Structure 1
Amino acid sequence: MGRVRVTKHEQLRGGGQGTVWRATRLDTNETVVIKYPLDSLDMSEGSADRRRFVREVRYQSSLRHAGIMPIVGMNLKASKPFFFMPLASHSLEDLLKSGPLPEEVTLSIVAEILAALEYSHDQGVLHRDLKPANLLYLQDRWVISDFGLCRQIDSNSTTITHVGTVVGSLAYMAPEQWDNAHAVEETADIYSVGQIIYHCLVGEEPWPRARIGKLEEKYRYFISRCVAEEPVERFQSVSEMRRELELLTAPQVELASPTTRANELKTEALAGRKEAVSRLLHLIVDSSDDEVFFKEFVPSLPLEILHYMHEKDPVAFEGIVRTFDEYSEGGHPFDYTDEIADFFLRVIRVAKYSRPIRRRSLRRIMIVGTYHNRFHVGEVFAQAVLLRKKDPEDVKYIASLLADDPHAARFMGPYLKQYSLPREILKEL
């Protein structure tokens, strides 16, 4: 991009790490926004402030996507460098001043932002300062702007952020940015988007935290995953987050119908109507591709119904357990981790004659407890081991699990040592 002459008019609010002005581009007579660094910043040659400003321009101008604000001119060699962009009509922050947004409006905005963010991450650029003020409506689409705090994922540079340096806007900033803003991953941007979605749906800034109970029930698990305190408990990529949101917001007939019918059949089964168990079993199997339904409903199945299902159709029952085990991979909010463990303990109680199901269940309890550091799951794992301590093959399998994962052996050790267990298990602790 070459140098382009502009005429400045009035200063606009916002701008993050700089000041912005409405201006006219003289060669095209186009109204644009011109951005300068703040007067308080050091723009001397080679300074950290100047490098940050130049970096913002270069990263943002290199990202070619309809959902990212384009840069249409720049002069980075001037004593006070600047760049300019098209003039957006308003920001998401402007919209939110009137309160919560309709669900369909929120979803439309988020879909466009996630598409742009996924592209940015694919190009190796983290934003690190996503907030409503940086989401702008340009012509007929929503775009991400203000890459002043972005970072190249594979960069080893520490000239902009150091350990102990906080970057980002408090209400939307991932907790780990307080500790080491340079070391954050894609999950930091996912946290910010979760906070933004919460703000849109609830109508209040998520400070000091998002109050999950204020959300419509169907969004609570999703948002809690986005804004989990530990990065490992969040969605690990924008694509994963997008898929989950698509499942969650599928047409009502596709989403709510299986959940409603499943709860009705569960009530009938608990009332002693055995035919309802068979229908419920088939409904769950037929809905195995619906991850949201599986995660919300399957852990709620009580011991009595699990027992009936296992008796009725052991093959279908094993398929349900296997599918839920697959959906239990990765990080989860702490309370949901406990639900996973409790469910698999019930499965172990039921599956007395199915070694593959028991082994799958033991492994999952051990993994979710260890890698979420959950004392409740430690106790659950100990209870599961006690149930199987008289089965030589299960004892051998439990010992191999602990031997293959020393971290799990260390974590589970205090819980298992409370009980009298076979020597093969104790020697691995």
Structure 2
Amino acid sequence: MIDNLIYENVKGEGSFALVSRYRDLHGNKFAVKKIKKEVMTNEGDVNRFRREIDILTVLKGEPHIVPLLDSNEKELWYVMPFAEKNLYEYISQNNQTLTEADRVEIFEKILDGISIAHSKSILHRDISPNNILKIGDEWYICDFGLGKDYSKYTKGGYSSVTGYGSILYAAPEQIDKLKDASVQSDIYSLGKIFYFILTGKEPRDINDAPSYKSVIKGAASERVEDRYENVSILKKEVAKYKNLYSVMSTTNLQDMTVRDYLAQTQRVNWNEFYEVAMKFNVTDHVYYDFVDPITTILSDTKTIESFYTTINNNMYDFIVLFRQALEKCYTSTGWPFSSVNSFGYFLNRLYRVVSTDSRCQMECLKELWDIAAYHDQWAVQETIIGILQENSILQENEREFALYMLEMDKTFAKLRNATTGRISSRDIVRVITHLKANK
């Protein structure tokens, strides 16, 4: 297989092997793990690599074990699917948006993979976030370099290699002597993994776990005899507490206002936030239940970017609904009209974030124009003039926005005094000129 692949670059490097990215003629990506040339004469490293291939061969085709696509024990390489991210990278990048249910689901898949390995008498002995890969929408355990088939190999295990697993995730008895590693050693690592998945933090102190604390302690106890006997028991405990937490949960997104959701949520999940917002539930006032909570939580560009990245193509519907909510505000009483400027600031932030999405940009422009022209808000007038003069409007939007300005047939003093020399759109310049002459 490797003869038909095209080398691209080195993806990662360990103490005795390199992982490189390859592709085929169709653009499919693969990872090739090869032993380093400089350690080819080291019998321990060579045996370790061959044993890894042997273990992956035994586990070939099993769910949540990285697929072995091809291998060569003589030349010491093997091929597997290419993974864009490992667990550490995925959790670190998505820690603010993952729900607890998302996190538990990931852990359950890891448990399934290790459970299968153990059922075939194989220990991993190096379970860490770096050795769990996301390939497509699934999770796979990889790097059985410290692995041991204890039904086949009875002697020790690589006590000559540097380190006995990732230090923060390795069991104490494994760190002392690798050959003493057991099923409970892998279970210890799984407890630490679960803590990391739930918190996004390295497992230096597992006592501050926000949930599943007894499960984590039952897995990652310092004493071997205090840990779960096997992965099946650990899986049952996770399932038990998952059900208990489900019963305790009183969150009902169906009936919540945006204000209710934010008041009851310590860490906002953007998918849930979007779901609640699109219900458009109002119990008190559209400003207090919907508009103000949204402009408050999305108070900076970085936060809006995170929200936009999560909901992506749904942002247009969100902005349209927000504009509808503003119209309800404008025609009602009982809210601070001085907040209109904050609407403009929020829409300007949105405008910057969705700058490449013509539909979203257009909705922001229309509402900014309405606030500036119809509601005569001076600060927002400065904003819209700045947008026009910096020529940041997408070319496909220029004519449509000029037509909207003309249809609204409204202007304001700051626009009448603004220069058009820096505006590149002829349509917009003509409309401004027309509005100046007729108002």
TM range (shorter): 0.5 to 0.7
Query: Is residue 138 of structure 2 the alignment partner of residue 141 of structure 1?
Result: yes
- Per the alignment, do residues 156 and 66 of structure 1 end up closer, same or farther by CA in structure 2, a change over 3 Å counting? closer
In the TM superposition, 1:73-152 aligns within 5 A as: 73-78=70-75, 81-98=76-93, 99=95, 101-152=98-149
Shift in Å, 1:152: 1.2
Shift in Å, 1:31: 2.0
How many Å separate the matches in 1 of 2:88 and 2:13? 11
Q: Which amino acid aligns with 1:175?
A: P
- Per the alignment, do residues 122 and 253 of structure 1 end up closer, same or farther by CA in structure 2, a change over 3 Å counting? closer
How many Å separate the matches in 1 of 2:166 and 2:105? 24
* Counterpart position of 1:32: 30
In the TM superposition, 1:6-17 aligns within 5 A as: 6-14=5-13, 17=16
- Per the alignment, do residues 232 and 5 of structure 1 end up closer, same or farther by CA in structure 2, a change over 3 Å counting? same
* Counterpart position of 2:319: none
How high is the sequence identity, in percent, across the aligned residues?
Answer: 27
In the TM superposition, 1:45-84 aligns within 5 A as: 47-63=43-59, 64-78=61-75, 81-84=76-79
Q: Which amino acid aligns with 1:94?
A: E
How many Å separate the matches in 2 of 1:16 and 1:144? 19
Shift in Å, 1:199: 1.1
Q: Flag structure 1 segments of 5+ consecutive residues without an equivalent.
A: 258-429
* Counterpart position of 2:18: 19
Q: Which amino acid aligns with 1:82?
A: W
* Counterpart position of 1:153: 150
Shift in Å, 1:3: 6.8
* Counterpart position of 1:390: none
In the TM superposition, 1:138-217 aligns within 5 A as: 138-158=135-155, 160-162=157-159, 166-207=163-204, 210-212=205-207, 214-216=208-210
How many Å separate the matches in 1 of 2:66 and 2:200? 25
CA deviation vs aligned residue, 1:31-83 (integer Å, no higher than 9, x gap):
21111113442x23x812111101101111220312100111112212xx211
In the TM superposition, 1:296-307 aligns within 5 A as: none
Contact kept? 1:4, 1:73, Cα under 8 Å:
no
Contact kept? 2:156, 2:179, Cα under 8 Å:
no
SS at 2:9 equivalent: strand
Shift in Å, 1:159: 6.3
How many Å separate the matches in 2 of 1:152 and 1:226? 22
Q: Flag structure 2 segments of 5+ consecutive residues without an equivalent.
A: 251-439
Shift in Å, 1:250: 0.4
- Per the alignment, do residues 128 and 17 of structure 1 end up closer, same or farther by CA in structure 2, a change over 3 Å counting? farther
Contact kept? 2:68, 2:80, Cα under 8 Å:
yes
Let me know the Cα RMSD of the aligned residues: 2.6
How many Å separate the matches in 1 of 2:15 and 2:129? 12
Contact kept? 1:166, 1:178, Cα under 8 Å:
yes
How many Å separate the matches in 2 of 1:253 and 1:30? 40
Contact kept? 2:44, 2:160, Cα under 8 Å:
no
Instruction: Give TM-score scaled by structure 1 length.
Output: 0.53
Larger Rg: 2
Q: Which amino acid aligns with 1:88?
A: A
Query: Is residue 235 of structure 2 the alignment partner of residue 242 of structure 1?
Result: yes
Contact kept? 1:165, 1:180, Cα under 8 Å:
no
SS at 1:137 equivalent: strand
How many Å separate the matches in 2 of 1:11 and 1:162? 28
Shift in Å, 1:145: 0.6
CA deviation vs aligned residue, 1:254-296 (integer Å, no higher than 9, x gap):
4689xxxxxxxxxxxxxxxxxxxxxxxxxxxxxxxxxxxxxxx
CA deviation vs aligned residue, 1:96-118 (integer Å, no higher than 9, x gap):
32346431121010111111111
How many Å separate the matches in 2 of 1:176 and 1:143? 26
How many Å separate the matches in 1 of 2:24 and 2:125? 30
SS at 2:30 equivalent: strand
Q: Which amino acid aligns with 2:238?
A: L
How many Å separate the matches in 2 of 1:66 and 1:20? 22
How many Å separate the matches in 2 of 1:32 and 1:226? 34
- Per the alignment, do residues 252 and 233 of structure 1 end up closer, same or farther by CA in structure 2, a change over 3 Å counting? closer
Shift in Å, 1:183: 2.2
In the TM superposition, 1:220-299 aligns within 5 A as: 220-250=213-243, 252=245, 254=247
How many Å separate the matches in 1 of 2:198 and 2:151? 34
How many Å separate the matches in 1 of 2:15 and 2:131? 8
Contact kept? 1:4, 1:25, Cα under 8 Å:
no
* Counterpart position of 1:266: none
Number of equivalenced pairs: 247
* Counterpart position of 1:295: none
Contact kept? 1:165, 1:178, Cα under 8 Å:
no
Contact kept? 2:2, 2:79, Cα under 8 Å:
no
SS at 2:168 equivalent: helix
Shift in Å, 1:14: 5.0
* Counterpart position of 2:373: none
SS at 2:79 equivalent: strand
